[in-house]
Structure 1
Amino acid sequence: MENRFSPVRRRLLLASGALLLSPKLALAGAQREETLSDDVASVMRSSINNVNPPRLVFANPADGRRWLRDMSSRLARFVPDAAERERLLINIHYEASRAGLDPQVVLGLIEVESGFRQYAISGVGARGLMQVMPFWKNHIGAPSHNLFDIRTNLRYGCTILRHYNNVEKGNLVRALARFNGSLGSNKYPNAVLGAWRNRWQWS
C-alpha cells in the first residue's frame, strides 16, 4: 500500500532506526488520556466486561459465509494462515457490530494502525491490533487485561472508537482523528477511510 504514513510519521520511523523496523512494532498516534464522566465510564466498562462468544452478525447466514470468504481472501496478504484469518475476522465483525461500528471501517483502521499484527507496539506504547493505549485499562477495564489478546484488544478498540463517535455526534472523520490522537488533522482519518475504500468496502 502506498504512503500509509504521514510525513511526520515517516520522519519518526526513520529517526527511530532499527528499533522501529522490528515486525513487532507499529507507528501510531497517542490516544489522549481524558477524564470520563461516571456515566460514560460505566457504560464503557460494561462494554469491556460483557464477554460473549464471537460470531458473525448477519441476518442471513449465507451472507455471513460470503463475507467471511471474501474478507479472508483480502486479508491473506497480511495473515497467511487461513484458520487465523477466520478467527480474526469473526472477532472483528462481532466486536465492531456490538459497538455499532462498520466492521469494514474497523478493518481499515487495523490495517493502518498495526498491519494486522497482534503484538504490534508503537513508539508511544500503544498495543495490539487496534493500538490501544494502556491507560485505558485503568479507566474502563482492569490492570490484568492483556491488550495483546485479540478479543480484548478489539473490545477495547471498538468501545473507544464508539465513545469518540458519540462525542463527535456521528462525525466519523473527527472520531477517527480522536482515536489516533490527531484531532485537527485529516491525515489519519483519510488513511483509514482510504484503506476502507481500496480494500475493505463490501456490499
Structure 2
Amino acid sequence: MRWLPVLAAMVLLCVSAGSMAGGQREEPLSNSVRALMQRSISDSAAPRLVFASEEEGQAWLQAMSRRLQKRIPDMQMREDFLRTVHYEAMRAGLDPQLVLALIHVESAFKKYAVSSVGARGYMQVMPFWVKAIGVNDHNLFHMRLNLRYGCTILRHYLDIEQGDLFRALGRYNGSLGKPEYPNLVVNAWRKSWTYQPVIAPVTAAALN
C-alpha cells in the first residue's frame, strides 16, 4: 500500500515533535486535591488577556505574536493561542512566559505532537489525567483543554514542591531529580520568552 510509508512518516514526525517530553507519572490524588483540580478543569469562562489596561495587553500580544509568527503563521490562530495561554497561565498562578517556554520545549508549538509515551498536544499532557480530573470526552488535542490541563498540572506540581520550580518541572516531565529538562525550560524562558512591559514615561501634563 503506497500510503503506508507516508502514514509512518507522519507518525514519526508527531512523535519526534514531542521528543523532549517525558510524561507525568500517575500518582494517587487526595480527595481535596482532586476536587480542586476538577474545578479548575471545568472552568468555562472565555479566555482573555488579564492586564491592568487594554494597551498593556495589546503590547504583550504583539510582542509575543512576533516571536511566534514562524511557528504559527496564521495570525488569528496565533493570537487566539496567545490569549488562551495568558488566561490559563494567570488563572493557575503561573507566568505566561514560563508556560510558553514549557510549550517551546515540550512540543515546539505543534498542536498534534505525541511523545513516545503518549503525552499529547502543546503541553504534552498524559491521557490518564482525563480520567483523574476531567471527563471522558475531553480531547487533549483541543487547544484550550490542553493548555488548561497543562497549567493545572504544573500548578499542582509547584504546590507539591512548595514553589520549587526545578523540581516541579522535573515532575512535569517525568524526570524528577535530573537537571536537563528544567534547564531547557528555564533557558528557553530566559532566551526566547522574557518580556519587559513598555511603560510610557509620566509627563508633567499627565500629572496635572
Q: Spell out the pairing of 1:89-168 with structure 2 (5 A cutoff).
A: 89-168=82-161
Residue pair 1:30, 1:181 contacting (<8 A) in 2 also: yes
Residue pair 2:161, 2:167 contacting (<8 A) in 1 also: yes
Q: 1:26 aligns with which of 18, 25, 47?
A: 18
Between stretches 20-29 and 176-185, larger displacement belongs to 20-29
Corresponding letter in the other structure for 1:89? L
Q: Which residue of 1 aligns with 2:5?
A: none
Secondary structure of 1:176's partner?
helix
Q: Which has the larger radius of gyration?
A: 2
Q: Which residue of 1 aligns with 2:42?
A: 49
Count of paired positions: 187
Q: Distance in 2 between matches of 1:113 and 1:195?
A: 11
Q: Distance in 2 between matches of 1:160 and 1:154?
A: 10
Give the TM-score normalised by structure 1. 0.89
Instruction: Give the gaps of 5 or more residues in structure 1.
Output: 1-16
Shift of 1:30: 1.5
Residue pair 2:173, 2:181 contacting (<8 A) in 1 also: yes
Residue pair 2:14, 2:115 contacting (<8 A) in 1 also: no
Q: Which residue of 1 aligns with 2:78?
A: 85
Q: Which residue of 2 aligns with 1:9?
A: none
Give the aligned CA root-mean-square deviation in angstroms.
1.4
The alignment status of 1:67 with 2:68, answered yes or no, reads: no
Instruction: Give the gaps of 5 or more residues in structure 2.
Output: 1-7, 197-208
Secondary structure of 2:137's partner?
coil
Secondary structure of 1:169's partner?
coil
Secondary structure of 1:154's partner?
helix
Residue pair 1:20, 1:123 contacting (<8 A) in 2 also: no
CA-to-aligned-CA distance 1:12-34 (integer Å, 9 cap, x gap) = xxxxx957641464221021000
Corresponding letter in the other structure for 1:132? V
| Identity between Structure 1 and Structure 2 (%) | 56
Corresponding letter in the other structure for 2:13? S
Q: Distance in 2 between matches of 1:60 and 1:166?
A: 30
Residue pair 1:20, 1:26 contacting (<8 A) in 2 also: no
Runs of 4+ in 1 over 2 A off after TM superposition: 17-21
